[in-house]
Amino acid sequence: MTPLWSGRFDTAPDAAAFEFGASFQFDRRLFEDDVTGSVAWARALATAGVLSRDEARQIEQALTEILERGRSDPSFVDGSDEDVHSFVERLVVERLGDIGRRLHTGRSRNEQVSVDLRLYLMRRIPPLQRDIARVAAALAAQASLSGDALMPAFTHFRPAQPVLVAHFFLAHVAPLRRDHERLAAARAEADALPLGSGAVAGTSYPIDVEALARHLGFSRVVANSIDASSDRDFAASFLYACAITMVHLSRLAEDLIILCGDEYRFFELSDALSTGSSMMPQKKNPDPLELVRGKSGRAIGHLIALLTTMKGLPSGYNKDLQEDKQGVFDAEDTLAGCVAVVRSVVGSLTLNRDRAESAASGLLLATDVADYLVGRGVPFRRAHEVVGGLVRKLAAESRDFGSLSLDEWHAASDRFDTDIVSRVTARVSVGAKRTPQSTAPAAVEARLAEVRQWLAGVVG
Ligand code: ARG
């Protein structure tokens, strides 16, 4: 294969070094975007008077035919070319000869790879956002299904306070909504046309970059050609959005691994999404969730790898930047695979209401007992101390608040009255919450309604 730049050299490139530098095996994924960018460039060259209308039309026709071939037969997008840009240009030249050789006028692969990756992300981010919203929809459906069921919420992974099961599911919707926004921000960052930057200094042809941007669906043009040739911030932002989404999916997976496990069994994993052991017949393992948790490491790694690649680069394009693509593609694939499996797992969970509710009472009502005293004029710090003493006694005797006689309550504080027994239950605790972000049933209902409204807007 003769590289695009062979004219400068006496000898053919060293085969191994050429192979080492070639990116076609992975940047072929940008094939469609490369063709889209080239069609628009040919038109822009014609508008600028660099190509005749007829030449531009022939180039566009050839590119369209190449795109159709590549779409109907992915194995067509292959060869010993250095990269996808060289591949597409070679095919145009093979079809049109000298007319094809005019396509690269005023353009550099440095800006081409940037425009391709930007176009790629702009079209691939929305499906990822939709998939994330579908996980949120599965969580919201579980929140609805759980009705007024209760479970403990944890801090320090110790049972802390009773909450609605719905509140727990919505707690996993909230970060996914932020991820959805972060992906929108990454897309907005990619949304700038780099063409017109040339190799680094701009182009000498009168290209109407604003029109070209509109034609390609960009809402703006980059500010500086030197920066444009080496800017991969948009790719890093995408990787960050993927990495933190994976962190959230991993934490959801971790919650479900524990809460579906034998010790808690608040939820049951469907058999179809569990795995067995080759040796221990009793095992029902959450392998898909463990893999989601494990794969978060890959996504985080891709972000760190790109930032590390970027940090030492001098201004302008450097070949190091070629290392951006595999991480971007793998982060996308990893995230897409994980959202699909998490959505299935969440959708198939069943609630063991008795298990969840019985874990939501007992000593974790201590804060409510303290609040009862506060309601009777006791300063909170003092109430905390009184209830702490009660908890110490009850824990030592393996009892809980329900077993205390009125005398025992009074021994702790004369402010306790007969209504304390009916006031200290998990359901009263949940119903007593007053803020919109709390687990109070009316608050949770309102949040759920708002989540449903958001979902209707983003997934329909
Ligand atoms: N394959 C290259 C990349 O991914 C395309 C740009 C090549 N430019 C260059 N001057 N070698 O970054």
**Residue 77 contacts residue 31 (beta carbons within 8 Å):** yes
- Range ranked top by mean pLDDT from 1-10, 268-277, 310-319: 310-319
Ligand 1 pocket check for 23: Cβ under 6 Å = yes
What's residue 278's pLDDT? 85
- Which pLDDT does position 74 carry in this prediction? 95
384 among known catalytic residues? no
156 as an active site residue: the answer is yes
What confidence score (pLDDT) does residue 8 get?
A: 86
Asked if residue 114 has its Cβ within 6 Å of ligand 1, the reply is no
**Residues 392-420: tens digit of each pLDDT:** 999 999 999 999 999 999 999 999 999 99
Q: How confident is the model at residue 53, as a pLDDT?
A: 98
pLDDT at 5: 83
pLDDT at 7: 86
Does residue 5 or residue 223 have the better pLDDT? 223
pTM of the predicted model as reported, rounded to 2 decimal places: 0.95
Adjacent-strand bridge partners of 155: 158
pLDDT band of 76, cuts 50, 70, 90: very high
Mean pLDDT of 39-67: 98
Give the pLDDT band of residue 34 (cuts 50, 70, 90).
Answer: very high
Active-site pick, 6, 219, 277, 403: 277
> What pLDDT score does 274 carry?
84
Q: What pLDDT is attached to residue 276?
A: 84
> Per residue in 100-146, pLDDT tens?
999 999 999 999 999 999 999 999 999 999 999 999 999 999 999 99
Residue 110, ligand 1, Cβ within 6 A: yes
Of 282, 253, 279, the C-alpha closest to 267 is: 253
| Residue from 19, 81, 83, 318 to probe ligand 1 pocket by mutation (most atoms less than 8 Å from CB) | 83
CA distance 36 to 195: 13
Q: Are 112 and 85 in contact (CB under 8 A)?
A: yes
Per-residue model confidence as pLDDT tens digits over 137-164: 999 999 999 999 999 999 999 999 999 9
pLDDT digits (tens, 9 = 90+) for 275-317: 888 888 888 889 999 999 999 999 999 999 999 999 999 999 9
Distance CA 166, CA 452 (A): 13
Q: What is the pLDDT of residue 272?
A: 84
Contacts of 72 (CB under 8 A, 6+ apart): none
